[in-house]
Amino acid sequence: MGAITFDKTTLAILAEALERLDEGFRDLPAFAPIIDHEVLRAVLLETADRMQDNFPYQHPLYAGQMLKPPHPVARLAYAMAQTINPNNHALDGGRASSAMEKEAVAHIAAMFGWHEHLGHLTGGGTMANLEALWTAGRLHPGKRIVASQQAHYTHSRISEVLGLSFQAITTDGRARMDMDALEAVLQTGEIGTVVVTMGTTATGSVDPLPDVLALREKYDFRIHADAAYGGYYNLVGNLTPEVRAAYDCLNQVDSIVIDPHKHGLQPFGCGCILFKDPAVGALYKHDSPYTYFSSAELHLGEISLECSRAGASAVALWATQRMFPLERGGPFAADLAKCRQAALTLYAMLNDNLRFMTVFPPQLDIVIFAPTGSSASAISRRSREIFDAAAAENLHLALASFPQTLIEKTWKTIEWDQPTVTVLRSCLMKPEHLDWIEDIGTALEAAASAAVMG
């Protein structure tokens, strides 16, 4: 098998774009930085040697963690912007890139049906969720934050940082927030915000948002949608009716987080926080009128808890969305649909293979499965063995641990000799995964055979 072929042909396009950028500064006196190119070359080649110590994240045989290579247009736009290195904290530090950020964020908001909103980019989903929960705490002081047990751990951690009370809600047999358990907690009157996860990072499960909205009619609370991983699936048509219904309700929540550096083809780190009501901008300690928060003169730093932020992230996102508009039926949505189909295909293959057991059908593009076994400890041991054997076949998966309470209803015959079980997890985030499913299946079969022999 050949090595990864990294994209190098587009560097000529970058050089052409830099020439075009340079034309905007022709009136300035000539200036060129002094660079020792021989030293630069030596250091960069040494850096390349060090970077070889990596998993092949770009390759379709990497199907482990949530690592999706940025599109060339994002990489090149980012590199071009870095020659100026704008700071989007204030308009003076990033005039063009701030305008591009507002446009790019508005397109993301429109994807959820929000044509009036307040939002900006962040360094990632953690910071974006922090702003959402900070706002929630300000609007419902003293009230508790709740999220499912399968929600990202960042919510409990952020709540602790902000001094907010947090409670995890049990999940059903498909790793979604249990509605009976949620209502029992809501009846206390102590809940200020319910975090709904649109694609958990462990299993890709989507919380039943329509049911949460129905509960909001009975109880007073905010809804924050953590769509950091799954948000872009709003554009995809090959979802189950149940999941589609959840996405169709997203325009009714109070805030949304989405990570363009996951499915949005961006380099790390690029997150995004959106608020449905622009008036929440008043919480950022100034006395501007409501209309200011949707004004073209708005400084992004005035509605952000972060200060310095890379304007290059906004430039890269803007360029990507120009090339791939966020529209149903477009090329971007079609590639996401391939990721979803890859997961469905792998799930079907595993169900037909007596060597493996599945847990539940994928709701997005994550598949969790395990080798067959009679006990939780045996399954956990075999999962780790196959994980190592698969890596030897150049197939890179992930391991995940789940509690007995989540899986016992599906795996009814195994002995629970320990409270958790370790399983294999495959995150099929690249559209190319669909074309490589047979290769992934072959490598899995070889890994299972090698693990038995070992």
Q: What is the rounded distance in angstroms from the CA atom of residue 227 to the CA atom of residue 20?
A: 37
Give mean pLDDT, residues 64-70.
Answer: 95
Contact 304, 118 (CB under 8 A): no
pLDDT band at 290 (very low <50, low <70, confident <90, very high): very low
Q: Are residues 219 and 257 in the same domain?
A: yes
Q: Are residues 402 and 433 in the same domain?
A: yes
Q: Which two tokens stand for residue 116?
A: 């009036």
pLDDT beyond 60 at 433? yes
Q: Which two tokens stand for residue 96?
A: 């063009």
CA-to-CA dists, residue 451 to 253, 264, 347, 368, 388, angstroms: 47, 36, 21, 19, 8
Q: Is residue 276 part of a domain?
A: yes
Q: Are residues 305 and 212 in the same domain?
A: yes
Write the CATH number for 140: 3.40.640.10
Q: What share of the chain is helix, strand, coil (3-state, %, to 5)?
A: 45, 15, 40
* DSSP H helical ranges for 52-178: 72-82, 95-111, 125-139, 154-162
pLDDT for res 373: 95
Bridge-partner residues for 423, per DSSP? 400
Inter-axis angle of helices 179-186 and 209-216, to 10 degrees? 20
pLDDT for res 93: 85
**Chain centre to alpha carbon of residue 277:** 23
Q: Is residue 139 part of a domain?
A: yes
Q: Is residue 14 part of a domain?
A: no
pLDDT beyond 90 at 390? yes
Tens-place pLDDT, residues 297-344: 667 877 888 988 999 999 999 999 999 999 999 999 999 999 999 999
Inter-axis angle of helices 331-351 and 437-453, to 10 degrees? 30
Q: Are residues 132 and 218 in the same domain?
A: yes
Q: What percent of the chain has pLDDT over 90?
A: 88
Contacts of 292 (CB under 8 A, 6+ apart): 281, 298
Contacts of 72 (CB under 8 A, 6+ apart): 7, 10
Strand order in the sheet with 222-226: 118-122, 271-275, 255-258, 222-226, 191-197, 144-148, 166-169
Length, in residues, of the chain: 454
Q: What is the rounded distance in angstroms from the CA atom of residue 211 to the CA atom of residue 255?
A: 17
Question: Running DSSP on this structure, what letter comes out for residue 70?
Answer: P
Q: Which of 290, 323, 356 is the last residue of a domain?
A: 323
Q: Is residue 419 part of a domain?
A: yes
Q: What is the rounded distance in angstroms from the CA atom of residue 373 to the CA atom of residue 424?
A: 13
Q: What is the rounded distance in angstroms from the CA atom of residue 142 to the CA atom of residue 82?
A: 43
pLDDT for res 285: 67
Q: Are residues 234 and 99 in the same domain?
A: yes
> Helix/strand/coil (H, E, C) string of 165-233?
CEEEECECCCCCECHHHHHHHHCCCCEEEEEEEECCCCCCCECCHHHHHHHHCCCCCEEEEECCCCHHH
Q: Which two tokens stand for residue 264?
A: 């949005």
Model's pTM, two decimal places? Answer: 0.95
pLDDT for res 286: 61
CA-to-CA dists, residue 387 to 393, 406, 414, 417, angstroms: 10, 22, 21, 22
Q: Which of 306, 323, 340 is the last residue of a domain?
A: 323
Contact 374, 273 (CB under 8 A): no
Residue type, 351: N
Give mean pLDDT, residues 287-294.
Answer: 50
**Chain centre to alpha carbon of residue 192:** 25
Q: Are residues 348 and 318 in the same domain?
A: no
pLDDT for res 5: 73
Contact 192, 144 (CB under 8 A): yes
pLDDT beyond 90 at 359? yes
Tens-place pLDDT, residues 107-139: 999 999 999 999 999 999 999 999 999 999 999
Q: What is the rounded distance in angstroms from the CA atom of residue 274 to the CA atom of residue 185?
A: 27
Q: Are residues 286 and 423 in the same domain?
A: no
Q: What is the rounded distance in angstroms from the CA atom of residue 198 to the CA atom of residue 5?
A: 34
Q: Which of 323, 348, 375 is the last residue of a domain?
A: 323
pLDDT band at 7 (very low <50, low <70, confident <90, very high): confident
Q: Are residues 197 and 296 in the same domain?
A: yes
Bridge-partner residues for 122, per DSSP? 271
Q: Is residue 47 part of a domain?
A: no
Q: Are residues 269 and 418 in the same domain?
A: no
Q: Are residues 312 and 419 in the same domain?
A: no
Question: How many helices (DSSP H) and strands (DSSP E) are in the chain?
Answer: 14, 11
pLDDT beyond 60 at 378? yes
Q: What percent of the chain has pLDDT over 70?
A: 96
Q: Give the mean pLDDT of the chain.
A: 94
Q: Are residues 407 and 307 in the same domain?
A: no
Q: Is residue 180 part of a domain?
A: yes
Q: Are residues 306 and 351 in the same domain?
A: no
Q: Is residue 58 part of a domain?
A: no
Q: Is residue 441 part of a domain?
A: yes
**How many structural domains comprise the chain?**
2
Write the CATH number for 433: 3.90.1150.170
434: containing domain: 331-453
